[in-house]
Amino acid sequence: MSHTHAREAGAAAHRTAVEPLTEQEVEAIRADFPALAEQVNGLPLAYLDSGATAQRPQAVLDAELDFLVHSNAAVHRGAHTLAGLATEAYEDARATVAAFVGAREDEIVWTSNATDALNLVAYGFANASHGRGGDAARRFALSAGDEIVVTEAEHHANLIPWQELAAVTGATLRYIPVNDEGVYTVADVEAVINSKTRIVAVAHVSNVTGFVAPVASIVTLAHGVGAYVVLDACQSAPHRRLDLLALDVDFAAFSGHKMLGPTGIGVLYGRQELLNALPPFRTGGSMISTVTMDSATYLPAPQRFEAGTQPVSQAVALAEAVRYLERIGLDRIEAREEELAERMLVGLAQIDGIRIVGEPAGTPRAGLVAFDVAGVHAHDVGQYLDAKGIAVRVGHHCAQPLHRRLGLTATTRASAYLYTTTAEVDRFLAAVAEVRPYFGETS
C-alpha cells in the first residue's frame, strides 16, 4: 500500500470510529467565545484564521484574570503565601500540559512561543558544538561533514534556526523536496537521510498544505542513523491528540496562542535525559544552582531553561485551554475539522480560477486550505473577504521556500477550528466565488 493510500485508509478508519462534533455542539461551543460575537464591517465575524491565532474561550480569560487578581507573585522565590500559591499554580499548569501531550512534567519547558522553543534547541546544539556543557553535551556537537535535514515545506521558525546552526558549526543543511502539490513521501525522506544526518526537523502538520507528516517513518529512519528528531507541533497540538512519548520524537515545540491560550507562552518538549544534557540557551536568575564570580552551575531541566521572570499567568491560562480542549475531545475536534476541510476543498474546486495548494479533495488533511486566485493578488482576496466579514490569512505564511517551489508569491489561507460552522464555510466559499468577477477577471 502506498503512503498516500495508507493515510487515506487510516483516516477513513478514524472517521468511522470517532463521531465529529455536530452543528448543535459547535453552536454551543461558540457561546463560550466572546470574540465570535463581534461584527466586522457591519457583518457577523466569520473567523477563519485560527491557524494563525485561535480565539480564547471565556474560561481561559477568567483563569488568567483570577490568577492575576488572587495569586500574582514571583514563582520559585520567596516564602510568603502568594509566592507559594503562584508556584503551585505554575507547576500545576506544567503537569496539565505534560499530561496533555504524553510527557513527564520535567520534560516540559515554558518558552515565549514555539519559535523561541526551536531556537532554544538549535542554540543548545550550537553551544555544545563550541565545547559548552561538558561531557554530557558532546552528543549534540556538530562539525563539518554532519548534516541537518528539514523539509522544503517548513515554516521559517523551523528552518532559519537550523540554517544558523549549520552556519556556526560547519554542518550542511539539506532538505526533503516536495512535489508539485507541496507534499512529500516516505521515499523522499529515505533519499535524504543518511549516516551523516544528525538532526531531522519537520512540521507535524504543514501550515500551508495541511499535510500530516509520516512522523513514525521519519523517526524510524532518523533514529536508525543516530539522528535526533525535532517536531514542530504548532499545527497539530491544538487539533489532534498528541502523544509525544508514543511518537518517540526527541524534541517538540508548540505555541499557546494557537490552542485557545494566550500569546507570550510556548512549550518545548524534550526527552528528560536530553534536556539535562543540553547546554542552556539563556542564562541568569532562576536557572542556576551555584554561582561564584568566576562560574555557575545550572539546575536540572526544566528550570535550567527558564531564566528570568517566568510567564506565570500565561501558563495558568494555557492549562485552562488544555482542560477546555480535553472536555470537548481532541478526536472529535480532528474529525470535525477534516469534514470542514473537505467541504472547503470541494467547494473551491468548483470555482473557476482557483488553484488549491496541497492535495485535492478526497485526501485527508488538517482543517486548513491555502489557495491562489488567478489574476488577483492574495492581499486583494483577503481585503475582499474582510469586507464581507470573513477573516483569513494572506501572504506566504512564513513559508517562502514552499511558495517559491510552487511558483507562487502568496496565497490565501482559510483555517477552521472547533468553533467553525458549516454556514461560515459556505459563506466563505460564496465570497471567494465573487472575487474574480469583482476584480474583472472573467477569463
Query: In Å, how far from its chain's centre is CA 314?
Result: 17
Pairwise CA distance, residues 366 & 11, whole Å = 11
Q: Are 316 and 67 contacting, i.e. CB atoms less than 8 angstroms apart?
A: yes
Which residues lie below 8 Å from residue 185, measured CB to CB, with a gap of 6+? 2, 3, 4, 214
CB 207 within 8 A of CB 365: no
Alpha-carbon gap, residue 360 to 85, rounded angstroms? 51
- CB 280 within 8 Å of CB 302: no
CA distance 355 to 410: 12
CA distance 148 to 250: 15
C-alpha span between 310 and 367 (Å, rounded): 33
Classified as helix, coil or strand, 46 is: strand
**Residue 398 catalytic?**
yes
Report in angstroms the alpha-carbon separations of 238 from 51, 365, 417.
9, 14, 9
What's the residue count for the chain?
Answer: 443
Q: Quote the Cα angle for 234-236-240, to 5°.
A: 150
Nearest C-alpha neighbor of 126 from the set 101, 92, 162, 91:
162
CA proximity to 315, closest of 58, 62, 16, 64: 64
- The sign of the CA dihedral 172, 176, 181, 183 is negative
- Report the number of secondary-structure helices (H) and strands (E) in the chain: 16, 17
Quote the cell numbers at residue 371. 489557495
Exactly one of 11, 398, 429, 433 is catalytic; which is it? 398
Locate 404 and state its grid cell.
517559491
Please, which residues have CB within 8 angstroms of residue 403's CB and are 6 or more apart in sequence? 208, 396, 397, 409, 410, 411
Using alpha carbons, select from 323, 330, 326, 291 the residue that is nearest to residue 307: 291
Which active-site residues does the annotation give? 398
